[in-house]
Amino acid sequence: MFNIAKIFPSFLKREIGEFYITVSIQTFALSMISLFEPIYLFKLGFSIPQILLFFISVYLIFFFIIPLSGKIINYFGFEHSIFLSIPFCILYFLSLYLISFYSFFIFIAPVFLVIYKMLYWPSYHANFAKYGIKEQIGKEIGALKIIGLLIGVIGPFIGGLIIASFGFNVLFIIVSCILFVSIIPLFTTKEKFISQKFSYKDCFKRLFSKENKKNMWKFIGIGEELINLVLWPIFIFLIIKNYSILGGVVSLSILVSVFATFYIGYSFDNGNGKRILRKSLFPYFIFWIIRGFIKNISGIFIIELFARIFRSGIFIPLTAHTYKMANQYGTLKYAIFFEQSLTIGKISIALIAFLLFTFCGVGFWIWTIIFFIAGLYSLLYYVDSK
Predicted confidence (pLDDT) per residue in 145-159, tens digit: 777 777 777 889 999
Inter-residue contact 244 to 160 (CB < 8 Å)? yes
127 versus 355: the higher-pLDDT residue is 355
- Whole-angstrom Cα distance, residue 307 to residue 110? 28
User: Which DSSP state fits 271?
Assistant: I
Inter-residue contact 2 to 263 (CB < 8 Å)? yes
Alpha helix ranges (H) inside 241-272: 243-267
Helix (H) / strand (E) element for 159: namely: helix 155-166
- Whole-angstrom Cα distance, residue 103 to residue 45? 11
133 versus 88: the higher-pLDDT residue is 88
- Whole-angstrom Cα distance, residue 138 to residue 354? 36
Q: What is the pLDDT of residues 31-50, one digit of tens each?
A: 999 999 999 999 999 999 99
On the question of pLDDT at 5 being above 50, the answer is: no
- Whole-angstrom Cα distance, residue 208 to residue 213? 7
Architecture of domain 14-186+213-382: Up-down Bundle (1.20)
On the question of pLDDT at 225 being above 70, the answer is: yes
Q: What is the pLDDT of residues 270-324, one digit of tens each?
A: 556 678 888 889 999 999 999 999 989 999 999 998 998 889 888 878 887 787 7
pLDDT at 11: 46
- Stated pTM of the model: 0.90
The alpha carbon of 91 is separated from its chain's Cα centroid by a whole number of angstroms, namely: 19
pLDDT at 2: 43
Mean pLDDT of 169-198: 79
- Whole-angstrom Cα distance, residue 139 to residue 346? 28
- Whole-angstrom Cα distance, residue 380 to residue 322? 15
pLDDT at 135: 54
Share of the chain above pLDDT 90, in %: 49
- Whole-angstrom Cα distance, residue 311 to residue 299? 18
- Whole-angstrom Cα distance, residue 269 to residue 6? 10
pLDDT at 265: 59
Q: Which residues contact 186 (CB under 8 A, 6 or more apart)?
A: 18, 19, 22, 79, 82, 83
pLDDT at 123: 86
